[in-house]
Every structure is written in structure tokens, then in C-alpha cells.
Amino acid sequence: MSKQYFGTDGIRGKVGEGAITPEFMLKLGWAAGKVFAQGEGRQRILIGKDTRISGYMFESALEAGLSASGVDVMLLGPMPTPAIAYLTRTYRAAAGIVISASHNPYYDNGIKFFCTEGKKLPDEVELAIESQLGRKMDTVPSDRIGKTKKLEDARGRYIEFCKSTFPRHLSLHGLRIVVDCANGATYAPGPAVFEELGAEIVPIGVKPDGLNINQNCGSTHPQALQEKVLELRADMGIAFDGDGDRVLMVDAEGELVDGDELLFIIASGRQLDRSLQGGVVGTLMSNYGLELALQSLGVDFVRAKVGDRYVMELLKQNDWQLGGESSGHIVCLDKTTTGDGIVSALQVLAAMVAQGKALAELRSRMTKLPQTMINVRLPEKQEVVSIPQVQDAVKTVESQLSGRGRVLLRPSGTEPLIRVMVEGDDADEVAGLCRQIADAVEEVIGA
């Protein structure tokens, strides 16, 4: 069965449209409660949110639906997505619900679920919730209505957990770090973690007003962080997205360090101290330079489809621990069960401190290859990639780049687009070859 509401990362959209309405959230809470109430004894579900204004409205609607289904509710307030995964696991809750649209603007929102183990829901559970949504909503007898309470020490518990993932024999003393929390869910726990580990912290993006989440700040807009690092002559900067599951960094020279480079720094540091288990999982969009750099260290590297769900699948298949995306969504399965921006940042800092090296030096050990991407718009969604003319153009370019680069053609999941990407060691050559394949695609469309 195909899913009507759940995408690769929960349910998301513009507030007031489609499924992102109070009415739907009420029914979703009830449907989820019915599915999770099938376990033994009275079940409880945690609800957390980021800082966007609509979160309060959807929190109330979900709470009412869950109560009507006979499930108890624990409210966490504004908390990073990975914090909700962690607390769901430690409280042995039936599920955790996150109200967030991650790196999107304030006028979007969405819902993500975690199961008892703090992992994303399997497809069969999402399908069960969707099936329940098709039924008429009812309310359990009054003596079985779910109760709600607020978990007062949620933030402190999560801060202590994050600190526990940083080696006890190391300290951040002597480092000046600018931390950009995107006016999002990390605005309180983010700076606290690094400060309690000894760093001098300059926080920015820590004044959420419900409307300014991800607005000209955070990992999607790192320019303000880059400027602040240079202005203060800080050792580095750390940027989270609105819900705290992604992280990017800025070195002391103000240069942005993306997810591929952070993944390499963590992997190479772990190989050095012999704690790296297996290889590394990237995605189809991971820079070819990451693959080459890991190859030079003798570290295996495989690519998953774009999306943290697919990264997780390959990590489990290979029994590996480390994977991630260029966007800064990094998974360290030996530390936690999902992508966690704060925990990932701490792994990078651990590598820096252990080796006594600055971020700029560690990132210099990996050379990102020039990349060109052209989006070719289609008149309608259609299969283009497998057409012989397009395949011939791809094979010609791949032959020319053999051992020096790669080609990727990827249909957009949301628009009638074909993304043509070419990477190689020469920027001008890469741009020309990318244009060559794009021309072939456009010719086929025109024909």
C-alpha cells in the first residue's frame, strides 16, 4: 500500500493547508493513540515541538486526540527533534511526536514520530495510523480518558545526555565558539552543552518569537555566523537548523564546513583512535571528494538514496555506525538513534581536541571536488533518465571522467525536474560536461 500522508520524513506542509490543520491534527492524535494503545497496560506518548508559532495550536490538537483515544500525554515543550527521540527511549514511552518543519520557514509545519526505541516509525506502523484515520473518531469512556502532564526536567536530561557523548578525559576549555541556534529548538540546550564542557560561548539566533525560526540564521543561512566568527576572532562557529537535527560549522577563517567535511573529520578521527566500526554511509549527493578522501584512508564508503531514512537503512544492513548527508544531517549510531546536531558537533570537537588541531586544518585533509548542477524542467513528470539518448550522453561523460569524477541524474521528488549533476577535478570541464548532458535531456524533451 502507498501512503497518503506520510512522506520520507513524516507529514509536512503549509500551515492551514492539506493535513497541516488543527482538525487533521486532532484526528491524527486520536488515530496514533488508537494504534499505540494496543500495547499492554496504559500507554503514554511524548509531544515536543520547535519554536514556530503554530506549534502551540497543533500541540493542543494532538493532545486532545491522544486523550480521547485513552493515551496519557507528556508535554516536553520546545525541544530539539533528537531530544524527543532520546526521551521517548529513556521513558519507555509508546511513541514520541515532534511538531516541526525542520529547516523550513515558520509558515510551514509538520509531524514526525519516533517509536519506543527512539527510531523513525517503520512503514507498517505509519500505514496502520493512516488506516485508522479513515475511521470515525470516538472517545473512550470518561474513566479511561488520557491524562496530560508536563515533563519539567526534560531540558536538563537532554543536556546531560549530550555531554555524555563527549569523551570524559577531554575538555573544550580555551575554545571560543559562536553557536547559532536558528531561533529554533536548540536555543536553550545548545549553548548550555558547550558551555558546561568548558568553552566560551557566544550565542546567536537564541531569541525565538514564533516567526523568526530559520530566518536569515542557522544552517540554512550561515552568513551571519560566518561574519560573527570573523568579527570576534572566534575559533569556530556551529550552526543548527530549526529542529536541531542538522549541523554545519564555520572555521576560524570564516569558511563554511559542510556535512560531507564534518563526516570526514569524525570518521578520520575515529579511525585514528581505532573506534571506527566499519565504513561510512553517504548519499547520492555526497561530494566525490569525500569518497576519495575516505578511500585514501582505507575506509569503506557506500551511497544511499537522499534522505536520512535511507542512510539509516544502509547503516543497519552493514552494521556500521557513521553516516550522513551534505546538509549536515549526521548519524552516529554508537551515540544515539537518530541525527542529532549537538551530538554530531561534539564528535567533531572531540576529534579537534584529541588531535590538537584547528577545524581548518582537519577539513583541509579532504578536498571537495568542483560540482555543477543544472535543473532541467520537464513539461510534466515523465521518465527521462532511462531514454537511450540520455544514457549515451551520460556514458560519454562518465568515460571522460573515469576515476576523476562522477555523474548523477536524479528526478526531483516534488517538482517536474531532472537534476543533472557532474563532479570532477576541473571546474571548467565539469561545467561543460554538465551542460552537455543537460542539452541531451532538453533535446529528448523537445523531441
Is residue 124 within 8 Å of 70, Cβ to Cβ?
Answer: no
The total of other beta-carbon atoms located within 10 Å of residue 329's CB is: 26
Give the burial class of 422: count Cβ atoms within 10 A of its Cβ; 0-12 exposed, 13-18 middle, 19 or more buried: buried
Return the CATH fold of 371-446: TATA-Binding Protein (3.30.310)
Of 24, 43, 431, 264, which is closest to residue 11 (Cα–Cα)? Answer: 24
What whole-number distance in Å separates Cα of residue 248 and Cα of residue 204?
Answer: 15
Question: Residue 25 — φ and ψ, nearest 5°?
Answer: -65, -35
The reply to whether domains 11-152 and 158-363 share a CATH topology is: yes
Of the candidates 333, 146, 401, 1, the one whose C-alpha atom is nearest the C-alpha of residue 437 is 401
Per-position DSSP letters for 26-89, written without gaps between them: HHHHHHHHHHHTTSSS--EEEEEE-S-THHHHHHHHHHHHHHHTT-EEEEEEE--HHHHHHHHH
Q: Is the distance from CB of 70 to CB of 148 less than 8 angstroms?
A: no
Would you say the C-alpha torsion 221, 223, 226, 232 has a positive or negative sign?
A: negative
**DSSP label at residue 115:** E
> 332 phi and psi, to 5 degrees?
-120, 90
The closest alpha carbon to 115, from 97, 93, 99, 95, belongs to 95
Q: What is the C-alpha R_g of the chain? A: 23
Distance CA 440, CA 438 (A): 5
How would you write the pLDDT of the chain (447 residues) with one tens digit per residue?
688 999 878 999 999 999 999 999 999 999 999 999 986 788 999 999 999 999 999 999 999 999 999 999 999 999 999 999 999 999 999 999 999 999 999 999 999 999 999 999 999 999 999 999 999 999 999 999 999 999 989 999 999 999 999 999 999 999 999 999 999 999 999 999 999 999 999 999 999 999 999 999 999 999 999 999 999 999 999 999 999 999 999 999 999 999 999 999 999 999 999 999 999 999 999 999 999 999 999 999 999 998 888 999 999 999 999 999 999 999 999 999 999 999 999 999 999 999 999 999 999 999 999 999 999 988 877 788 889 999 999 999 999 998 889 999 988 766 788 999 999 999 999 999 999 999 999 998 885
The domain ranges of the chain are 11-152, 158-363, 371-446
Residues 371 and 218 sit within 8 Å (Cβ to Cβ): no
CA nearest neighbour of 166 among 329, 320, 344, 325: 344
Quick check: helix, strand or coil at residue 316? helix
Strand 301-304's sheet: what is its strand order? 301-304, 280-283, 322-324, 330-332
Residues with Cβ within 8 Å of 111's Cβ and at least 6 positions away in sequence, in order, are 10, 11, 12, 25, 28, 58, 62, 97, 98, 99
Q: Which residues are catalytic?
A: 102
Name the class of domain 158-363: alpha beta
- Which class is domain 11-152? alpha beta
DSSP 257-290: E-HHHHHHHHHHHHHHTT---S-EEEETTS-HHH
- What is the value of pTM for the model shown? 0.93
DSSP code for 101: -
